Amino acid sequence: MTLKRISIFTIICLFCLGLVISPAMAFKGTYKVGAVFSVTGRTSFLGDPEKKTAEMITEQINKAGGINGHKLELIVYDTEGDATKTNLAVKKLITQDKVCAIIGPSLSGTSLAVVPLAEQYKIPLISCAASYKIVHDDKTDKPYKWVFKTPQTDTMAVEAIFTRLQKTGINKIAIMSVTSGFGASGRGELIRLAPEYKMNIVADEKYGPKDTDMTAQLTKVKGTSPQAIVNWSVGPTQVTVLRNYRDLGMAGIPFYQSHGFGSRKNIELAAGAAEGVFCPLGACNIAELLPANDPQKAVTTKYMKDYMAKYNEPLSSFGGHAWDALNMVAKALETVGNDKAKIRDYLENHIKGFVGQHGIFNFSPDDHNGLTKDAFNMVVVKNGDWALAD
């Protein structure tokens, strides 16, 4: 037998015995994953729990031996909710830190700002923000190749709200929205989907992300006698608008918040003004309220207990977005190693039936969000806490 034939024979035998080392197994370093969150600044209520959650998951993975023996290294940069700082941080993660994937940003606006970078540098990015535009290229009417997201879209949130309004016989509504990327996207979907759900929008008021009083806008809304109010914002403004709404004696008008209201801190900050307010939320907010046979019960309950034990604070929707994103990346790393293209392909083609904090994800070449409106539960604030709406 010639040397060449012996070599081929040896390789075949090694393959049969499972001893040929794949590129993923041959890699000896740590798996570097980047994260960009608005940890401080006006939108820290989003980025702080995301950072804490991602760090907790990384610690848990490494304590369990890492991913196929590789340590997971999480590199987090604080964007402060600023698009320019987000852009610089993402570039640094790609060109200097040499990460294999990025999770975040926290905001729709900052996510949209770095979509071109992910596409240019061909690196998988899983956003933790809501706008459907983050993953949808309007020019091609298809998903961006390298960008995914874990939060339910504003479209799904609008559908969940409108479905319940229809169910309760309401079709005359007022909408309010903040003039940010999140607010503008939500407002656009409220207006676009209103005819489909036979909703008559009798008032359409806006306010700035730094505004501290919405009395003028609410007074105009009150004059139109709506059957319900739908507000689309995040952060302090969604609390301020509730307080103004109560002060104007409008509590008799049902009030709906977007999924951006998904933190018990908002209920606390509203100081009673949130009582009776409705909003669509993911399962992680209400783990203890889910029935025992709910497929998300186990993962949401464990996350809730782990997070509260480690940080001594209630979790929010926003940390859950980071949980979903980092666990998806970890799953891809476990299967295909730290090759960026293979991670992207794995996310698109093999995230099926992934039970997360915000739903059961099914990514595909046509869908880089992988959720439906069924990922939402309609909740109501009752006795200062979340309760399932009737």
Q: What are phi and psi of 294, to 5 degrees?
A: -70, 130
Q: How many CB atoms lie within 10 A of CB 136?
A: 20
Confidence of residue 22 (pLDDT cuts 50, 70, 90): very low
Mean pLDDT of the chain, nearest integer: 92
pTM as predicted: 0.86
Identify whether the C-beta of residue 123 lies closer than 8 Å to the C-beta of residue 329: no
Q: Is the pLDDT of residue 78 over 90?
A: yes
Superfamily of domain 29-152+297-375: Response regulator (3.40.50.2300)
pLDDT one-digit tens code per residue, 240-271: 999 999 999 999 999 999 998 988 889 999 99
Kindly give the residue spans of alpha helices, DSSP state H, lying in 224-296.
236-247, 264-270
pLDDT one-digit tens code per residue, 311-352: 999 888 899 999 999 999 999 999 999 999 999 999 999 999
Confidence of residue 26 (pLDDT cuts 50, 70, 90): low
Each domain of the chain, given as residue ranges in start order, spans: 29-152+297-375, 154-281
Q: Is the pLDDT of residue 146 over 80?
A: yes
Q: Is the pLDDT of residue 16 over 90?
A: no
Please tell me which residue, 147 or 141, carries the higher pLDDT value: 147
DSSP character at residue 102: E
Nearest to 126 by CA among 61, 35, 60: 35
CATH of domain 154-281: 3.40.50.2300
Q: Average of pLDDT values for 264-283?
A: 93
332: buried, middle or exposed (CB in 10 Å: 19+, 13-18, 0-12)? buried
pLDDT of residue 3: 43
- To the nearest whole percent, how much of the chain has pLDDT over 90? 84
pLDDT one-digit tens code per residue, 105-115: 999 899 999 99
3-state secondary structure of 196: coil
pLDDT of residue 68: 96
Report the DSSP pairing between strands 352-355 and 142-143.
Answer: unpaired
Rounded CA-CA distance 149/336 in Å is: 20
Angle, helices 297-311 vs 317-336, to 10°: value is 110
Which residues, 6+ apart, have CB-to-CB distance to 255 below 8 Å? 228, 229, 231, 242, 245, 276, 277, 278
Strands (E), the chain: 31-37, 72-78, 101-103, 125-127, 136-137, 142-143, 147-149, 172-178, 200-207, 228-232, 255-257, 278-281, 352-355, 360-362, 377-382, 385-388
Positive or negative, the CA dihedral 127, 132, 135, 138 is negative
Q: Is the pLDDT of residue 46 over 90?
A: yes
Q: Do 29-152+297-375 and 154-281 share a fold?
A: yes
Identify whether the C-beta of residue 280 lies closer than 8 Å to the C-beta of residue 160: yes
Q: Extract the tokens encoding 365.
A: 């070449």
Q: Average of pLDDT values for 294-311?
A: 97
3-state secondary structure of 294: coil
Residue 368 identity: H
Confidence of residue 19 (pLDDT cuts 50, 70, 90): very low
Best-predicted range by mean pLDDT (1-5, 182-186, 233-237, 377-381): 377-381
